[in-house]
Structure 1
Amino acid sequence: MALFGLFRRKPHERLGFELYGAAVRAARQPVFFTELAVPDTLDGRFDLIGLQVALLIRRLHRDPDPRGPGIAQAVFDAMFADMDFNLREMGVGDMSIARRVKNMWEAFHGRAQAYEAPLQSGDGAALAEALARNVWRGALPADAAQPRRLAALALATDTSLAAQPLDALLRGEARFPALEEAPHDRDAGA
């Protein structure tokens, strides 16, 4: 019997990958790299995916349904399974995969923590500051239009995800607003 346990899927595994896929699609909007000048690099892409996933995980953790945290964990697991797979596809050696994935996990966790307080308080300026530091690596000031617009989008996404019923999320349906749907920086409280 114990041997069969090795082949069982984790709870919510498929759902985690479906929701993670929605977050990745949201992070791949070309407008991020054109209008917002997010660096079209591995780091820039990781930061955008990390932001969308952090917002989704935040939503799931806040749900009163006891399944929320388990689904959030499944999304997190899907993200880092994907990161591991992509590093292998890029030819990163097996010996350094674990270290690199650990570094990515730490970076994701640190960014999610940095975004939490501004998201909780709706502080667009503080969120723009954290995004400028992480997404643009300090190359843009926090009061530049790009970090302010990304902060406005993150706040709009947080609100949008909070309004989406868990039943929709349980079907793998997560809607992430497009940049055009977010209020401009002057309206974001930044």
Structure 2
Amino acid sequence: MIWSLLKRKKSNQALVTRQYEAITAAARWPAFYEEMDAPDTVIGRFEMITLHLVLYLRRTSSSGPAVQGLAQEVLEAFFEDVDHSIRELGIGDTGVPKRMKKFARMFYGRANSYGEALEAADETALAEALSRNIHPEAGAAAPSMQALAEWMMRAATALERTGEETLASGLLEFPQDQTGAGA
């Protein structure tokens, strides 16, 4: 039984890698940092990967078991990447679990607040949640996250048109332009 699990994991690895790379590449689009006020910092990059992963998981949540299994493995790849990044930043082995718990809480909190706003089609609530998370220290002086919230709403709509075959192949792509076209 353990061998079949390992074999399945290994066969999905190429799909997981392809999809996770697409998520991280999309999170690096310059427009997020140059036009939508995401900070170009380690935490800013974490925030952008998180929101793309939330959109991906939201889309795959209504898929069949194979796609949901792939999505779970993509999520695991994300947390492995976070673990690796923490270690690269010089956090010692004893400090990593504490930091990982913090990042997990951050991720799931964001997934919840962004998901609720997307589900309710509440762009204002989404912009407020993005502002709270992306610019926590800025308070009322935080830049507007309205453009990013609008992009997320359009992206979520565009991703809904993504077929099961595309999802199962690890080929989901995010809209690159500000109009939401191209997904």
1:28 matches 2:28 = yes
Residue equivalent to 2:171: 173
1:94-121, CA deviations, whole angstroms, 9 ceiling, x for partnerless residues?
1112221221111000000011111012
Offset, 1:16:
2.3
Query: 1:62 is paired with a residue of what secondary structure?
Result: coil
Instruction: Give the partner amino acid of 1:100.
Output: R
Residue equivalent to 2:125: 126
Offset, 1:8:
4.3
Stretches of structure 2 lacking an aligned partner (at least 5 in a row): none
Query: 2:136 is paired with a residue of what secondary structure?
Result: coil
Instruction: Give the partner amino acid of 1:151.
Output: A
Residue equivalent to 1:61: 61
State the 4+ residue runs in structure 1 displaced beyond 6 angstroms.
none
Offset, 1:13:
3.7
State the identity as a percent.
36
Instruction: Give the partner amino acid of 1:113.
Output: N
1:70 matches 2:78 = no
Structural RMSD (CA): 2.5
Q: State which drifts further: 12-21 or 118-127.
A: 12-21
Instruction: Give the partner amino acid of 1:171.
Output: S
Query: 1:177 is paired with a residue of what secondary structure?
Result: coil
Stretches of structure 1 lacking an aligned partner (at least 5 in a row): 184-190
When the two structures are superposed, what TM-score results if normalisation uses the length of structure 2? 0.87
Aligned partner of 1:159 among 154, 157, 160: 157
Distance in 1 of aligned mates of 2:86 and 2:159: 29
Distance in 1 of aligned mates of 2:120 and 2:155: 14
**Count of residue pairs brought into register by the alignment:** 180
